[in-house]
Amino acid sequence: MKHLLSIKDLSQQQLLDLLALAKTIKANPAEYKHALEGKSVVMLFEKPSLRTRVSFDIGINKLGGHCLYLDQQNGELGKREPVSDFAANISCWADAIVARTFLHSTIEELAEHGTVPVINALSDLYHPCQGLADFLTLSEQYGDVSKVKLAYVGDGNNVTHSLMFGAAILGAQLTVICPPGHFPDGKVVCEAQELAAKHGGKLILSSDVEAIIGHDAIYADTWLSMGDSTPMAEIEAKFKPYQVNSQLMQKAGAKHFMHCLPAYREVEVTAEVVDGEGSLILHQAENRMHAQNAVLVTLLS
């Protein structure tokens, strides 16, 4: 494993090893406090962040490493100088790059032209660190994740793509329910279906909300991702039947609710559900750090 650009690049064993290592680091933080000693990580963010930025910064610190945050207030990546020069220069000083970019191709370019590991901290296509934290959370709740029935409801986006790859590789069941015209990327669906067939996973796509019946956990994300300038008024009516509320949770028979955050209350999910008893949102947020630390330790030590 040289980079973490997408969960699809991981073998089932690599994915299981990362989840196991995350649990070990979470349970024995003192044993890893020198794991990144002498290592520096540069974090490049083209988009805003709370969880990703803070969990990487504090996580790297807990592993004994140093991190430097570069926002793009001086212009987006590739404007002042080519992304390739950026990657080559950073590789002269840093031991890894964590990047959140608009275009996934920018992250690929960083990996291609740098000489150090690159970790995708969210792109338009994928959010692998989120997916790892989510499957870590599910494995804490359910033990064997291949037995979990998860449903994602809403816009087919970067988070959906990473959940699809994770579920497929882990042999889990994932039902993706989206309004017509808002399904996940077709190429990603094909790749995920191939991985599901190989590993015994089950991926179902539907625009029928009734497909929610019989799931353990329901996952929602914003209807409009960062960088999408579509006015909410334009899509609201189409998405409204896909709002996760108590009735939908009951229909599903689901015990748990998941969301990568930030959550927009009374939009994609009601406050009653996101702040309710079965909500795993803070477990997911906490696990971002442990999952990412497992990635950093795997790539850097």
Site string for ligand NVA, 86-105 (x = CB under 6 A): --------------------
By beta-carbon proximity to ligand CP, the closer residue of 72 and 84 is 72
Q: Tell me if the bond preceding 82 is cis, omega within 30° of 0.
A: no
Distances (CA, A) of 61 to 29, 42, 136, 265, 293: 11, 13, 21, 33, 10
3-state secondary structure of 252: helix
| Shortest-Cβ-distance residue relative to ligand CP | 52
The least CB distance from residue 3 to ligand NVA, in Å, is: 20
Instruction: Give dist(CA 279, CA 246) in Å, integer.
Output: 12
- Assign 3-class secondary structure to 190-247: HHHHHHHHHHCCEEEEECCHHHHCCCCEEEECCCCCCCCCCCHHHHHHHHHHHCECHH
By beta-carbon proximity to ligand CP, the closer residue of 81 and 228 is 228
Q: Which member of 104, 215, 260, 292 is catalytic?
A: 260
Site string for ligand NVA, 107-146 (x = CB under 6 A): ---------------x------------------------
Give the burial string for 228-240 (b: 16+ CB within 10 Å, else e).
eeeeeeebeeebe
Instruction: Give dist(CA 45, CA 57) in Å, integer.
Output: 13
The response to whether 80 counts as a known ligand-binding position is no
Q: Is 281 in the site for ligand NVA (CB under 6 A)?
A: no
Q: Of how many residues is the chain composed? A: 301
The response to whether 100 counts as a known ligand-binding position is yes
Token look-up 């980079």 returns 3
The single residue among 106, 120, 130, 158 that binds ligand CP, judged by CB under 6 A, is: 130
- Residue 221 is among the residues annotated as catalytic for this protein: yes
The response to whether 226 counts as a known ligand-binding position is yes
Q: Which member of 3, 51, 100, 215 is catalytic?
A: 100
174 CB-side CA count, 13 A: 36
The two structure tokens encoding residue 156: 């087919």
Alpha helices in 114-183 (DSSP H): 128-142, 158-170
Return the residues of window 228-287 that contact ligand CP according to CB under 6 A.
Answer: 260-261
The single residue among 10, 94, 122, 274 that binds ligand CP, judged by CB under 6 A, is: 122
Binder of residue 173, out of ligand CP, ligand NVA, none (CB less than 5 to 8 A by kind): none
| Shortest-Cβ-distance residue relative to ligand NVA | 225
Instruction: Give dist(CA 182, CA 179) in Å, integer.
Output: 6
Q: Which member of 53, 161, 215, 288 is catalytic?
A: 288
The least CB distance from residue 222 to ligand CP, in Å, is: 10
| Residues taking part in catalysis | 100, 127, 130, 221, 260, 288
Binding site for ligand CP (CB under 6 A): 49-52, 122, 130, 260-261
Binding site for ligand NVA (CB under 6 A): 122, 157-159, 221-222, 225-226, 260
